[in-house]
Amino acid sequence: MRVVARPIDGRIIAVIDERRRLSGRGAWLHPDPACMETAIKRRAFTRAFRGPVDVAQLAADFPAYLERRTGRPDSPPSSLKAGQYPHGNPMRTQR
């Protein structure tokens, strides 16, 4: 998941870039609650954006983002093996 720093009301706030289209420096993070907690605890966003960033809104929006992300019909099932299309066929052109 991509996170960007946006100026909102005179503050720099970290927000989720769901479509991965917002301009500016971005930071990438696994869409995992443990990864988010670790990044906030270690102040990874402050280092990634090279300055102080408010992450309170990001932490509040994260559970809703995960719910929307897992509810998408185009997301492949987690039971897929690496190197396979969602319909199960191998990703190769040679037989």
d(CA 40, CA 21): 23
- Assess contact for 4 and 24: CB atoms under 8 A: yes
Nearest partner of 57 among 5, 10, 18, 22, judged by Cα: 5
The stretches of 7-55 forming alpha helices (DSSP H) are: 33-41, 44-48
pLDDT given at position 93: 61
Higher pLDDT, 22 or 72: 22
Is the pLDDT score of 16 beyond 70?
yes
pTM of the model: 0.68
Confidence of residue 25 (pLDDT cuts 50, 70, 90): confident
> CA geometry: angle at 17 spanning 15 and 19, to 5°?
160
Q: What percent of the chain has pLDDT over 90?
A: 63
75-89 mean pLDDT: 54
pLDDT given at position 74: 46
